């Protein structure tokens, strides 16, 4: 296990859809001074900019295929080689498979990077309540939540006045499928990291603000 306090730090975020791990990760960026790296964002950036890797991803997606572990690993490795990752980084959405985890661990060990896993553990019923209350603006992308951050006028976007919608992936049947897929996909990874001796922290994702959860995560990471 890499535990040199002076080494670069890799925070690996886990959490089911609706756990808030993406928002927590963004708050962690400010608390730890490390960039938040989302694999979804990396894919979109490469495709948008027409990079060689982006062209490979686009070709796969246009053909209706899934991006392979090998291509995903190359894209992540390319992102982690940038100057803003010199002190470390926060990974959100990677790794998703054992092959990706093995690739990442080999790279971190070779470069003297200290990995810490943060798992945002959230009950299914909490996720359903949270996501089914979410409303999105199809025009400007603003997101609201009827339980905590509702629009000023019901059903209308505060920013541009467009009619708010419920996204397909915020419907309960889709949430159930996504949650089940996450549980199936992530369980082996959790076991992998625990067996490998990596520092493993858990954060209660059921209550509290994203910033308070990030504060708890930051404290656990520093311990």
The catalytic residue positions are 21, 96, 134, 167, 178
| Cβ atoms of 161 and 57 closer than 8 Å | no
Which residue, among 100, 88, 172, has the nearest Cα to 133 in the 3D structure? 172
Determine how many CB atoms are found less than 10 A away from the CB of residue 215.
Answer: 17
113-121 vs 8-14, strand pairing mode: parallel
Concatenate the DSSP letters of all residues of 129-184 into one string. Answer: HHHHTEEE-TTT--EEETTTB--SBTTB-TTT-PBPB--GGGSHHHHHHHHHHHHH
Question: Terminal CA-to-CA distance of the chain, rounded, Å?
Answer: 15
**What is the CA 169 to chain-centroid distance, rounded?**
16
Please tell me what DSSP assigns to residue 116.
E
How far is the C-alpha of 42 from the C-alpha of 202, rounded, in Å?
26
Phi, psi angles (nearest 5°) of residue 144? -125, 165
3-state secondary structure of 114: strand
């Amino acid at each position: 296990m890499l535990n040199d306090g002076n080494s670069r730090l890799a925070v690996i975020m886990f959490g089911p859809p609706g756990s808030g791990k993406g928002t927590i990760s963004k708050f962690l960026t400010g608390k730890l001074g490390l960039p938040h790296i989302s694999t979804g964002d990396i894919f979109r950036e490469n495709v948008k900019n027409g990079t060689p890797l982006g062209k490979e991803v686009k070709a796969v997606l246009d053909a209706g295929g899934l991006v392979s572990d090998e291509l995903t690993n190359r894209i992540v490795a390319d992102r982690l080689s940038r100057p803003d990752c010199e002190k470390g980084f926060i990974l959100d959405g990677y790794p998703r498979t054992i092959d990706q985890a093995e690739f990442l661990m080999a790279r971190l060990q070779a470069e003297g990077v200290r990995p810490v896993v943060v798992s945002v553990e959230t009950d299914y019923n909490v996720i359903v309540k949270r996501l089914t209350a979410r409303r999105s603006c199809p025009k400007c992308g603003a997101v609201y939540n009827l339980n905590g951050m509702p629009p000023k006028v019901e059903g209308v976007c505060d920013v541009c006045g467009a009619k708010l919608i419920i996204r397909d992936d915020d419907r309960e049947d889709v949430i159930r499928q996504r949650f089940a897929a996450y549980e199936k996909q992530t369980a082996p990874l959790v076991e992998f990291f625990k067996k490998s001796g990596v520092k493993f922290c858990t954060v209660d994702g059921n209550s509290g603000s994203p910033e308070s959860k990030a504060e708890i995560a930051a404290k656990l990471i520093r311990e």
